[in-house]
Amino acid sequence: MNTTQARVETLLIRQGHDMLNRPERWGYVALLIAALAMAATLTALLVTETSLPTRTMAAFATMLVMALCWVAHAGWVLTHRRPLYGRHKLTATRLATGFSALYTLGAGLLWSSGIGSGAAAATLLGCLMLSGATVLHIKTRRQVAILEKQRRQLESAY
């Protein structure tokens, strides 16, 4: 093995290790636990509180789907044994952007219909969350593109 191949392999190993280091892995464990707790709580509410208004039941069901999506995402990241090259972050920012958009849309509909007293503040908060999630998604997409370009260059060196 020549020195160039050894450097490439060392770089790939280091990059792969850095993709999901221990603190980040523990963060995904915390996400999994929190999302499972949220899903269990919402399921219990949906099953036991059948007299709640339809809007509330729909909101709880939507939040349950969101929690289960986060459970699936955290499980996917934690069970992968090879480098994800930022795909896990890209998926997380997509989820965050989609869920923030859904929240903002719901709050905006309540505000425009005059139903919710705090709907204006909720819509403003949703716009802030959506803006933050969108910025993170754009930054993450750029980082993933750079990583994929580096990976292609390193693979073509062989």
pLDDT by residue, tens only, the chain of 158 residues: 567 667 766 776 666 655 556 778 888 999 999 999 999 999 999 999 999 999 899 999 999 999 999 999 999 998 886 667 688 899 999 999 999 999 999 999 989 998 778 889 999 999 999 999 999 999 999 988 888 888 788 777 66
Is residue 23 situated within a structural domain?
no
Is residue 91 situated within a structural domain?
yes
* Domain, as residue range, for 91: 86-158
DSSP string, 40-88: HHHHHHHHH-TTS-HHHHHHHHHHHHHHHHHHHHHHHHHH--S--TTHH
Q: How far apart are CA 78 and CA 20, in angstroms?
A: 9
Q: How far apart are CA 47 and CA 35, in angstroms?
A: 18
Is residue 97 situated within a structural domain?
yes
Is residue 117 situated within a structural domain?
yes
Is residue 123 situated within a structural domain?
yes
Residue 74's identity, in one-letter code, is: A
Please tell me the predicted confidence (pLDDT) of residue 117. 80
Domain count, the chain: 1
Is residue 90 situated within a structural domain?
yes
Is residue 115 situated within a structural domain?
yes
CA-based torsion, 69, 56, 33, 25: positive or negative: positive
Please tell me the predicted confidence (pLDDT) of residue 5. 66
Is residue 152 situated within a structural domain?
yes
User: Cβ contacts of residue 96 below 8 Å, gap of 6+?
Assistant: 133, 136, 137
